[in-house]
Amino acid sequence: MQKVLLVDDDAAVRDALTQTLELNDLSPIACASFVVAKDHITPEFEGVIVSDIRMPGRDGFHLLEYAREIDPALPVVLLTGEGDIPMAVRAMSEGAVDFLEKPCATADLLAVLQRALQTRALVLENRQLKRQLESGDPAARLLLGVSPLAEELRRQVRRVAPTPTEVLITGPTGSGVSKVAEVIHLMSPQAQGAFIKRAAAGVKTTGLDLLMHEAAGGTLFLDDIQSLPIEAQTSLVYLLDDPTSPRLIAGSTADLPPRVENGSFSADLYYRLEGMRVRIPALSERPSDIPPLFRHYVVVSAEQAGLAVPEIDNAYLTMLMTQDWPGNTRSLMSAAMRFVLGMPEEVTHADGLGLAEQLAQVERSILIAALGRQNGRAAAAAQALQVPRKTFYDKLARYGIRPEDYRR
């Protein structure tokens, strides 16, 4: 849940605001003074600060000043029990994102908080992406994403890269299997050697010796390993027993165990590969990565096209998050280039699906769009759709939708 650091010396006001925030799916941290609150104020704080101005000792302006010293981008909303225009002007001039008079309407407060939380999430997201791009760690620099699944992918890569054994990378079409293979090579003891990439379908048994020699001391990446002819699979197992052989990384977009069972894929090769496996999640499994990845691809596409980077509004990003992206990051890159060139985005079609599946796809998209518009606040999304909260949560569970993935 999104955090709100609530600072007010009046216990009754503090309790009332705490209840209001909790009822609207926010996570308040209630503090009675600046001294208590300051321990929660860090550059990594993921929420917004709401503080009364008039408090004993250090007041709201002291808190605002302290917060801006810690992180100038930390959003602070100041409250006062007195309608004081000069005080409001001072608050805004010193960096407060808004100034509200107590008692303020719940709708007004929530609207201010939603804007501030969206801005804060975007700031932290951009910082994380910038750290990744500037990192000396190839896993962080080249495998971008802010979701837990993206971090798990980087963890897997860091785990397998230093080992000398073969690696199997699995992932859906367009997910970047070859890119992950190259990152593993860059982080491996073979990094000083060659990285030889070949499509497995084009590799013949007679050419394997030459290919292994070409990659000696480095890494041989065979993409779509399921397409390697069965005779070549048998020869490859034999060649891998040679101590001078290169490290093998195999990529597959297919489910290999059924192929092992029906004899179209070598069991010996499969069991040799599966010991070190890296799975790339589909983009549809990690929708929270879509906005930062799309923004990054837009910047790259604009540079390639020699054009200015266009503005991207949240409504457009929400629309992108509702799509399934069967082509994964490859499709997202293409969408970014079309966006830069001013071409309309293509929508996902439901050809081949039955009525029930199409209706479910539409319902899922509506739920995601509602969460995106409400910045991941499930209760607000349920209210906007005029659906009972329990029914809404049941539907989220049915489609595997997590509200936190839609908080920006």
pLDDT tens-digit series, residues 293-341: 999 999 999 888 888 888 888 778 888 888 888 899 999 999 999 888 8
Q: Which residue has the tokens 């073969």?
A: 166
Instruction: Outline where 135-207 has alpha helix (H).
Output: 138-142, 148-160, 177-186
Residues contacting 286, CB < 8 A, separation 6+: 145, 147, 149, 150, 405
Q: Is the pLDDT of residue 179 over 90?
A: yes
Q: Is 107 exposed, middle or buried (0-12, 13-18, 19+ CB in 10 A)?
A: exposed
Give residue-wise pLDDT tens across range 98-113. Answer: 888 888 889 999 999 9
Q: Which residue has the tokens 């629309």?
A: 319
Strands (E), 268-325: 277-279
Using DSSP, state whether 343 is helix, strand or coil: coil
Local confidence band at 376 (pLDDT 50, 70, 90 cut-offs): confident
Residue ranges of the domains in the chain? 2-130, 138-281, 284-406
pLDDT of residue 83: 65
User: CA 315 to CA 321: how far, in whole Å?
Assistant: 10
Instruction: Give the C-alpha distances (Å, rounded to integers) separating 212 from 48, 223, 237.
Output: 57, 15, 12
Strands (E), 203-295: 219-223, 247-252, 277-279
Q: Which residue has the tokens 């925030």?
A: 21
Residue type, 127: R
Q: Is 192 exposed, middle or buried (0-12, 13-18, 19+ CB in 10 A)?
A: exposed
Q: Which residue has the tokens 């107590």?
A: 102
> For residue 148, is the peptide bond before it cis, meaning its omega torsion is within 30 degrees of 0?
no
Strands (E), 57-194: 76-80, 98-101, 167-170
Residue 248 near residue 240 (C-beta atoms within 8 A):
yes
Q: At what angle do helices 106-134 and 290-305 cross, to 10 degrees?
A: 60
CATH no., domain 138-281: 3.40.50.300
Tokens of 146: 């802010």
Residue count (the chain): 408
Q: Is the pLDDT of residue 348 over 70?
A: no
Q: Give the mean pLDDT of the chain.
A: 89
Q: Which homologous superfamily does the CATH classification assign to the domain defined by 2-130?
A: Response regulator (3.40.50.2300)
> For residue 103, is the peptide bond before it cis, meaning its omega torsion is within 30 degrees of 0?
yes
pLDDT of residue 201: 93
Give residue-wise pLDDT tens across range 219-251. Answer: 999 999 999 999 999 999 999 999 899 999 999
pLDDT of residue 288: 87
Q: Is the pLDDT of residue 365 over 80?
A: no
More confident residue, 120 or 375: 120
Tokens of 353: 């699906």
pLDDT of residue 347: 45
pLDDT of residue 157: 97
Q: How many CB atoms lie within 10 A of CB 370?
A: 22
pLDDT of residue 349: 47
